[in-house]
């Protein structure tokens, strides 16, 4: 081995240990960086020519060392609770999975997609979820019940920046359910003028129209004697009690079995009771399917369409006419358990909600993003809707991803294309909201590595010193 080769090897050692110290410094600096993956220094020997163990040449050419860095992608940082609901952490017991992010929420492209374990997302730019690195979370848009709207689920092209609207528009009522017991054993409905009879009882249905207003429809239940009852629906009224339109059909006959369960429902017309005659019902058509009635709230007729059919106006407040499916299959006829012989309601629900402001966001273990809006729905003071589904990306060789930073990576030619999966499947763990993954850096290990690097650097510098002395001796010998 020549003196030049010895010097070159020592200098390469100095350079390699300097690089290793830089890596150690970066790791320590990022010990508190969310989602940071520790960078490792791998030393690789440089060999000039055939200088292996079998080489017997007396002119040893020397070798050196180089540092190749890589990221510890098989370790996911421990979860740290933050209390911020839009923060989301990967399962630290898993070794797989990345969030898909994009640098721009307005110009996303599959070619610019990046991958990270930094789940420090919060609302920015009016509703997009952005992490502390400045990247925007990607997911599938969904319906209000969590079904992805894209037909290309599993493909990057189906993803878009996750957006949580700051407000929600009114959702009109389309379906309702009434489960109640009518009191058995009442007399037939006969008008006895000044004498009150306990042949009827009332309930009501509250619906939301297309403008987000409440519409109330009264429900009057009248006993025809035995196991037959009439349901008469009132016209819709607003919160001030003023009529806003009409209800049609507005009369139904319910027949109950001997055990009190509902048998059939017919739509029809009602003839009012007199002093001597009970109220009468005339059915029109066949029994309704599934004991469910379909009622329409609309304005008065105004003209005809091209086929000559009457056209209904909107409700008087400008809301669109709406059809509501009311499920009465749970109605029963049993003896009353109270002294007033009123209808006893168990369930009286309707869908739909008023518009409202965003009050909270939740992310499920499978990545479903739900937004709750403070308003007055038909049944509660808030409405929760699903807005997006967050997938996780996995790779055949995640160690080959190209580092953009210590917590953000891009696809490389050897990493393979990402496979999008639901959190908790295909080797990934479930997600935890209100938490983030800490850095994987262990400072104790880094300090040990720093001591090793310093010692190796010092030893290499001694080689340079002695090599220089040998050069001086050689120069003196040949001078």
Average pLDDT, the chain: 87
Provide the pLDDT for residue 186: 74
Provide the pLDDT for residue 367: 97
What is the Cα–Cα distance from 231 to 218, expressed in whole angstroms? Answer: 10
The whole-number average pLDDT for the span 315-322 is: 89
- Which of the residue ranges 182-186, 245-249, 380-384 would you say has the lowest mean pLDDT? 380-384
426 — pLDDT class (breaks 50, 70, 90):
very high
| 3-state SS class at 278 | strand
Torsion angles phi and psi, residue 115, rounded to 5: -135, 135
What is the Cα–Cα distance from 6 to 64, expressed in whole angstroms? Answer: 9
- Which of the residue ranges 243-257, 303-317, 390-404, 436-450 would you say has the lowest mean pLDDT? 303-317
- Which of the residue ranges 159-163, 191-195, 321-325, 390-394 would you say has the lowest mean pLDDT? 191-195
CA distance readout (Å), 68 to 6, 36, 232? 22, 19, 82
pTM: 0.69
Q: How far is C-alpha 392 from the geometric centre of its chain's CA atoms?
A: 13
Provide the pLDDT for residue 145: 87
The whole-number average pLDDT for the span 184-189 is: 74
Provide the pLDDT for residue 41: 86
Asked whether the predicted pLDDT for residue 341 surpasses 80, the reply is no
Asked whether the predicted pLDDT for residue 189 surpasses 80, the reply is no
Report pLDDT digits (tens) over 357-403: 899 999 999 999 999 988 755 556 678 889 999 999 999 999 999 99
Asked whether the predicted pLDDT for residue 345 surpasses 60, the reply is yes
Delimit the CATH 2.60.98.20 region(s) of the chain: 175-352
Asked whether the predicted pLDDT for residue 332 surpasses 90, the reply is yes
With vertex at residue 102, the alpha carbon angle to CA 98 and CA 106, rounded to the nearest 5 degrees, is: 150
Report pLDDT digits (tens) over 285-301: 899 999 999 999 998 66
Provide the pLDDT for residue 198: 55
The whole-number average pLDDT for the span 471-476 is: 80
Percent of the chain surpassing pLDDT 70: 90
Asked whether the predicted pLDDT for residue 277 surpasses 70, the reply is yes
Provide the pLDDT for residue 50: 46
What is the Cα–Cα distance from 236 to 300, expressed in whole angstroms? Answer: 12
The answer to whether residues 66 and 44 touch, using CB atoms and an 8 Å cutoff, is yes
Q: Report which of residues 234 and 313 the model is more confident about.
A: 234
Asked whether the predicted pLDDT for residue 328 surpasses 90, the reply is yes
Q: Report which of residues 101 and 384 the model is more confident about.
A: 101
Report pLDDT digits (tens) over 33-92: 999 999 888 887 776 554 445 555 555 555 788 888 888 888 999 999 999 999 999 999
Provide the pLDDT for residue 51: 46
CA distance readout (Å), 1 to 5, 57, 59, 226, 233? 6, 9, 5, 115, 105
CATH architecture of 175-352: Sandwich (2.60)
Q: What is the DSSP letter of 17?
A: H
The whole-number average pLDDT for the span 438-451 is: 92
Q: How far is C-alpha 279 from the geometric centre of its chain's CA atoms?
A: 54
The whole-number average pLDDT for the span 275-284 is: 84
Provide the pLDDT for residue 317: 87
Provide the pLDDT for residue 242: 92
């Amino acid at each position: 081995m020549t003196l030049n080769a010895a010097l070159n090897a020592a200098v390469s050692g100095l350079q390699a240990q300097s690089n290793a110290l830089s890596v150690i410094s970066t790791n320590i600096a990022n010990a508190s960086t969310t989602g940071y993956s520790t960078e490792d220094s791998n030393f690789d020997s440089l060999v000039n020519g055939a200088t292996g163990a079998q080489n017997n040449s007396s002119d040893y050419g020397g070798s050196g060392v180089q540092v190749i860095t890589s990221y510890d992608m098989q370790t996911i940082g421990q979860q740290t609770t933050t209390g911020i609901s839009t923060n989301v952490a990967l399962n630290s017991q898993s070794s797989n999975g990345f969030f898909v992010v994009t640098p721009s929420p307005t110009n996303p492209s599959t070619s610019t997609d990046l991958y990270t374990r930094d789940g420090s997302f919060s609302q920015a730019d009016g509703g997009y979820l952005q992490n502390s690195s400045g990247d925007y979370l990607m997911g599938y848009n969904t319906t209000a019940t969590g079904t992805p709207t894209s037909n290309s689920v599993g493909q990057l092209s189906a993803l878009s920046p996750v957006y949580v609207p700051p407000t929600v528009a009114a959702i009109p009522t389309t379906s309702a359910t009434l489960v109640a017991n009518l009191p058995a054993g009442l007399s037939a409905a006969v008008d006895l003028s000044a004498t009150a009879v306990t042949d009827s009882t009332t309930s009501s249905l509250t619906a939301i129209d297309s403008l987000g207003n409440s519409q109330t429809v009264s429900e009057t239940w009248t006993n025809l004697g035995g196991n037959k009852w009439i349901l008469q629906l009132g016209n819709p009224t607003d919160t001030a009690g003023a009529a806003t339109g009409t209800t049609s059909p507005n009369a139904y006959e319910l027949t109950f079995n001997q055990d009190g369960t509902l048998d059939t429902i017919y739509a029809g017309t009602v003839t009012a009771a007199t002093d001597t005659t009970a109220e009468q019902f005339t059915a029109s058509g066949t029994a309704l399917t599934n004991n469910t009635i379909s009622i329409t709230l609309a304005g008065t007729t105004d003209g005809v369409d091209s086929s000559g059919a009457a056209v209904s106006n909107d409700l008087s407040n400008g809301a669109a006419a709406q059809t509501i499916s009311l499920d009465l299959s749970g109605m029963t006829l049993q003896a009353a358990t109270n002294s007033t012989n009123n209808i006893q309601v168990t369930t009286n629900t309707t869908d739909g909600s008023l518009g409202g402001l965003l009050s909270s966001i939740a992310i499920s273990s499978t990545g479903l993003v739900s937004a709750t809006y403070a308003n007055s729905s038909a049944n509660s003071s808030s409405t929760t809707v699903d807005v997006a589904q967050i997938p996780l990306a996995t790779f055949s060789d995640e160690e080959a991803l190209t580092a953009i930073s210590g917590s953000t990576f891009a696809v490389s030619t050897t990493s393979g294309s990402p496979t999008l999966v639901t959190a908790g499947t295909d080797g990934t763990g479930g997600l935890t909201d209100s938490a983030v993954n800490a850095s994987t850096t262990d400072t104790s290990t880094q300090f040990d590595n720093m001591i090793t690097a310093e010692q190796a650097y010092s030893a290499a510098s001694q080689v340079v010193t002695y090599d220089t002395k040998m050069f001086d001796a050689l120069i003196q010998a040949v001078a």
